[in-house]
Structure 1
Amino acid sequence: MKPGRILLLEDSADDAELITELIADHLGAATRVDHAAEVEEADRLLDAADDYDLILVDYMLGTPPDGAEWTAQAAARRSLPPVIMLTGMPDAPAIERIAGRMPEISWFVTKDRLAEELPRAIDSAMANRPDRPSCDGIILLADDDADDRLLIEDALREVEGEFRLDLVGDGAELMAYLHRRGAFRHLAGTPLPGLILLDLNMPRMDGRMALRALRSDPELRRIPVVILSASDAGCDIQEGYELGANSFVCKPASFDGLVTMMRTLTDYWFRLVALPVRLR
């Protein structure tokens, strides 16, 4: 699911130009970006349109209120689409504190890593919208490679049925998503995924660490996990099963192979086997 219209609240003209270029590169020219340099202008744009799919907000605006305060004020007046906060703070605890009191914010992106983090944040914010229509099953993909995520998303569209693919970029985001913490608090009360596709080699918390955490958590350990890896090394396969993976699949080299893989996985996990009620 790609956003058709984005509101960008950013007081730096240079940063706004860079962000707009990154969005165009990632989403294509069909996505419209409305830039507001001041909160008053952002308010006018929100009041004039009700079709924004995504909002990007600079945390450190030049004049009060700051980005978080503006988001809270805007959310008090209207229902907001997913909000991505752009920040210069690399301090994870500080970001967690803001996220803890701001369920409206779906994602944080640090400005010194815009090119790397913004495409992933956009994909995840759109994929994880709680207002998405009902579907035949929810699949959570944990993979830090944006190209692989896009290919798997495209492959799933070729599969019969309406399946939802939610996206995270590493094991830490996977656990935050499943526990509905931080940037994923807006998903509280929505169903857990019926299947997790887990890459092994990811930053921060890799797939092995994430699998250990999943299988030691009484609330999450029943969720089926399929390791989806570029590795076909025997030691990786053995370790994956020892850690509690339900299956180990080597990533196909072709798009047709990905389509076949996704069709097989959805047929097995969502049509053939019986899952616990909570995971349906």
Structure 2
Amino acid sequence: MTDRITTSFSAGSTAAEVIEGIDLTGRRVVVTGGASGIGVETARALAGAGAEVTLAVRDVGAGDRVAADLTAATGSKQILVAPLDLADQASVAAFVAGWDGPLDILVNNAGVMASPLARTPEGWEMQFATNHLGHFALAVGLHDALASAGRARVVSVSSSAHHRSPVVFDDIHFERRPYDPFSAYGQSKTANVLFAVEASKRWATDGITVNALMPGGIRTNLQRYVPDEVLEQMRTAAGGGGLKWKTPEQGAATSVLVATAPLLDGVGGRYFEDCNEAEVGVLTARNGVAPFALDPEAAARLWEVSVQTLAG
């Protein structure tokens, strides 16, 4: 096993602290879900460091409001907004077709959590379709833009919820097994890690690195489908030791670290939490990465299944 990467930052660190002293002038960034939750704070930190930041969002009106707020706060005139619905492959294709020039950093941040059973027109389970397949199609579609940037990074926002489920290849879309919102969410978050493993392997020669991360527990619109009593149970889960919620600024810190830290130059296929690389197999309520999420055979299989699924 390669040495685990550690930093001077921790669960309490903020995105602003992590990016301090880093100059992103001339760099181009896309943040999916950049109009809410930790997406806003991720975009704020990257824009504040001088990057051109495109908020890729379902609600363009909300995106425009956030862009105006971020422009006022950072002074950046390079905060753009573009429509993107990750559950709609035509929307993903349109975003890719509309992108011109190199792309230095892609933050796959958007997501849906523990939603009631819903399917895309193709019949795909909505959480897997949004959290994995949409981001997979986006990253693959933007591959050439990433490659042309040189030393590009892709950030795959996962979750400790991946502990709940590997990718169940025999029935990914819950066509035969009973649907469970958290199992479906967990499976999609495992897919986010497996994507990082395989993409780093495939794209290393293009100078593209991909890492996954757990942002921490943050109260945002992501939990809109989760009842308050369930959230409280999660907060006080066995072994959790009375876990505290992070602020959005703290929640964005690990994404920003993975996107920008010089320490991660050339490093890919890993999973981070609280601004440090997670321990493999040492699992608590919010910490650690399950071995199945880093399994290279599962990662390779998921890539092939994803390609086949999107090809119809």
TM-score by length of 2: 0.29
Q: Which has the higher strand share?
A: 1
How does the TM-score come out when normalised to structure 1? 0.31
Q: Which has the higher contact order (CA 8 A, sep 6+)?
A: 2
